[in-house]
């Protein structure tokens, strides 16, 4: 909604009351011990109720600008933007130099706890 208000000011759109209902579902799967955890967003739904005296075409332009001008929305849509560097104890560190453990050596027991097979 911040972007709606921001672009409404720039476009001189008359906005009345704006309400948003947000529904989302997040989850994760994989194994912590096998280092295969994958977080995910299963859905992110936003419904807006917008009041305005302006013409629908002007509101449509506002919505397009607000969607395209939202940094979070654009980042989620383009996850390749994430570039991170790491120092460990003051020295450059690349986790890819240390592969995850052999997942064949991990089993799931009936209590839902991972255990290691003896090697």
**Digit-coded pLDDT (tens) for 1-37:** 689 999 999 999 999 999 999 998 888 888 888 888 8
Confidence at residue 108, expressed as pLDDT on a 0 to 100 scale? 52
pLDDT for the residue numbered 90: 93
Q: How far, in Å, CA of 29 to CA of 81, rounded?
A: 23
Tell me, yes or no, if the pTM score tops 0.85: no
Contact between residue 50 and residue 20 where contact means Cβ atoms under 8 Å apart: no
CB atoms within 10 A of CB 6: 14
With contact defined as beta carbons under 8 Å apart, do 58 and 13 qualify? yes
Judged by DSSP in three states, 17 sits in coil
Mean of per-residue pLDDT scores for the chain: 84
Mean pLDDT, rounded, for 112-119: 41
Residues 16 and 4: beta-carbon distance below 8 Å = no
Instruction: Report how far residue 3's alpha carbon sits from residue 63's, in angstroms, rounded to the nearest whole number.
Output: 9
Radius of gyration of the chain (CA): 23
* CATH code given to domain 2-85+93-116: 3.30.300.20
């Amino acid at each position: 909604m911040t972007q709606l208000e921001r672009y409404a000011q720039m476009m001189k759109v008359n906005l009345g009351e704006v309400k948003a209902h947000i529904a989302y579902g997040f989850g994760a799967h994989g194994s912590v011990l096998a280092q295969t955890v994958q977080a995910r967003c299963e859905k992110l739904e936003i419904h807006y109720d917008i009041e305005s005296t302006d013409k629908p075409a002007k509101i449509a332009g506002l919505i397009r600008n607000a969607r395209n001008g939202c940094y979070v929305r654009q980042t989620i849509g383009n996850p390749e933007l994430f570039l991170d560097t790491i120092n460990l104890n003051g020295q450059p560190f690349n986790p890819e130099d240390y592969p995850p453990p052999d997942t064949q050596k991990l089993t799931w027991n009936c209590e839902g706890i991972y255990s290691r097979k003896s090697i």
